[in-house]
Amino acid sequence: MSEPMLASLSPQDALIAVMIAVSASDEQMRTSELVAIQKIVGHLPVFSDYDGDRIRVIAQTVFDLFEEEDGLAALFGLIRDGLPEKLYETAYALACDVASADGSVREAELHMLEEVREELSIDRLHAAAIEWGARVRHLRP
């Protein structure tokens, strides 16, 4: 039995939801993407007091919303409500890092990143710089 969907998200929950949504957008959450999320949560200051056990609850909420007809709109509503505007670019950067973690960004992930960009009103030039940074951080030799 799955847990009930959350009615609201903390800023950290919202960041997790964005990362999970990008990872799950191609219907496969790869190990490298999950490891990237765990590393991000374990190391970034924004997650310093975050309870990592909540990741499972947030992931289930994202999965449940993906199953609903207007679930993506509902998910972005939750994300925007929980995330202060000053963390919008952070959310996009984390999403790009997760999408790039396995060495390639798939079509479904590109579409989800585009949704994130639009829903969070990320400036196109800023988005390009964020995407470039993620790509070069995850290059393989």
pLDDT tens digits, 73-130: 999 999 999 999 999 999 999 999 999 988 888 899 999 999 999 999 999 999 999 9
Its pTM stands at: 0.91
C-alpha to C-alpha distance for 18 and 114, rounded to whole angstroms: 12
Whether the per-residue pLDDT at 6 is higher than 80: the answer is: no
Residue 4 has phi, psi (to 5 degrees) of -65, 150
**Residue 26 contacts by C-beta under 8 Å, 6 or more apart in sequence?**
106, 107, 108, 109
Query: What's the pLDDT score for residue 24?
Result: 93
C-alpha to C-alpha distance for 58 and 52, rounded to whole angstroms: 10
Query: What's the pLDDT score for residue 103?
Result: 81
Which residues in 58-74 are b (16+ Cβ under 10 Å) and which e? bbbbbbbbeeeeebbee
Nearest to 109 by CA among 20, 45, 39: 20
C-alpha to C-alpha distance for 128 and 98, rounded to whole angstroms: 16
The model's confidence at residue 42, banded by pLDDT at 50, 70 and 90, is: very high
Q: Cβ distance 136 to 126 under 8 Å? A: no
